[in-house]
Amino acid sequence: MNELSSTGAMTDDRLTAEERIRYARQLGPGVLTEEGQARLRRSTALVTRVGGMGGPAAMMLAMGGIGRLIIAHGGPLESPDLNRQVLGSEAGLGQPRAGQFAESLRRVSRFVEVEALDHEPDDAEALELARRCDIILSCPPTFEERLRLNRAALEAKIPLIDAAQWGLTGTLFVARPGQTACLACAYPSAPPFEKLFPVVGAISAATGSLAALEAIKILSGTGDPMWGQMWVYDGYHGRTRQFAVARRENCVCQETG
Ligand SMILES: [Zn+2]
């Protein structure tokens, strides 16, 4: 590796001088190595959706130096979204979310490429996207979508980070196909879904940021990812729990992994 391109410029194994300046505060002991930062730049993440949790997750990945983001989110931005959807703005109310959210991400980093889908992918598209990615950050509200992304990650054999929220509580689950439990091990069937469930933006952003942190660790090879762990922060009572999810017999991950 470390080859020179035909123009004599360094190819993507090393950081440019500009990148060293941009990421100066996150390079060094206890944070990322230069090699890890370059690996992050060569990585692609699918983040769907990019609202209360996926928005901060995508923003922290963009600011942290991921090379490419594929974001998916349908529908227009509405007033109740602005208690938590940090990629939106007052000016964007009534406008489709995907395009304006992609612009918000490009505004915070000139180093990131963003591809925006104005809808939530179905089974076939989720798999096609997963095959173009190194990791999936699953941040939709419905179990149907979360379990679809879980299946896509298993088929494509890439890690999945699932983030969820309700009220003042946030949960994260980090899965590695073939080695840990998958999301369907934790939720064999989709629990009942409440369309307009309560949520406070502060917990959405905290959970989304931690999802991004796990992704940055996995993609750059930093620290110990929470493989197979479910992390729960009950913000109402200020309590944290973390436990390993056991692999379930006859789960979809036993067939693919
Ligand atoms: Zn499973």
CA–CA distance, 87 with 103 (Å, rounded to integer): 9
Residue 251 banded pLDDT, cuts 50, 70, 90? very high
| Centroid of ligand 1 to alpha carbon of 225 (angstroms) | 18
The per-residue pLDDT for 11 is: 54
* Confidence check: pLDDT of 143 > 50: yes
- Displacement of CA 187 from its chain's centroid (Å): 19
Amino acid, res. 22: R
DSSP 208-246: HHHHHHHHHHHHHT-S---BTEEEEEETTTTEEEEEEPP
| Centroid of ligand 1 to alpha carbon of 171 (angstroms) | 18
| Centroid of ligand 1 to alpha carbon of 186 (angstroms) | 7
* Confidence check: pLDDT of 253 > 90: yes
Output the six-digit token pair for 105: 């991400």
Q: Give residue limits of the domains in the chain.
A: 31-256
Element containing residue 71 per DSSP (H, E): strand 68-72
User: Each residue of 2-53: pLDDT tens digit?
Assistant: 333 343 344 578 999 999 999 999 999 999 999 999 999 999 999 999 999 9
| Centroid of ligand 1 to alpha carbon of 148 (angstroms) | 12
User: Each residue of 157-185: pLDDT tens digit?
Assistant: 999 999 999 999 999 999 999 999 999 99
CA–CA distance, 224 with 221 (Å, rounded to integer): 8
User: Each residue of 54-88: pLDDT tens digit?
Assistant: 999 999 999 999 999 999 999 999 999 999 999 99
* Confidence check: pLDDT of 243 > 50: yes
Residues 3-21 as b/e (b if ≥16 CB within 10 A, e otherwise) read: eeeeeeeeeeeebeeebee
CA–CA distance, 205 with 237 (Å, rounded to integer): 18
* Confidence check: pLDDT of 196 > 90: no
The per-residue pLDDT for 76 is: 98
User: Each residue of 228-242: pLDDT tens digit?
Assistant: 999 999 999 999 999
The per-residue pLDDT for 7 is: 38
| Centroid of ligand 1 to alpha carbon of 181 (angstroms) | 5
* Confidence check: pLDDT of 1 > 70: no
| Centroid of ligand 1 to alpha carbon of 210 (angstroms) | 22
The per-residue pLDDT for 204 is: 98
| Centroid of ligand 1 to alpha carbon of 173 (angstroms) | 12
Size of the chain, expressed as the number of residues it contains: 257
The per-residue pLDDT for 170 is: 98
User: Which is the CATH superfamily of the domain at 31-256?
Assistant: NAD(P)-binding Rossmann-like Domain (3.40.50.720)
185, exposed or middle or buried, with CB in 10 Å at 0-12, 13-18, 19+? Answer: buried
* Gap between the terminal Cα atoms of the chain: 30
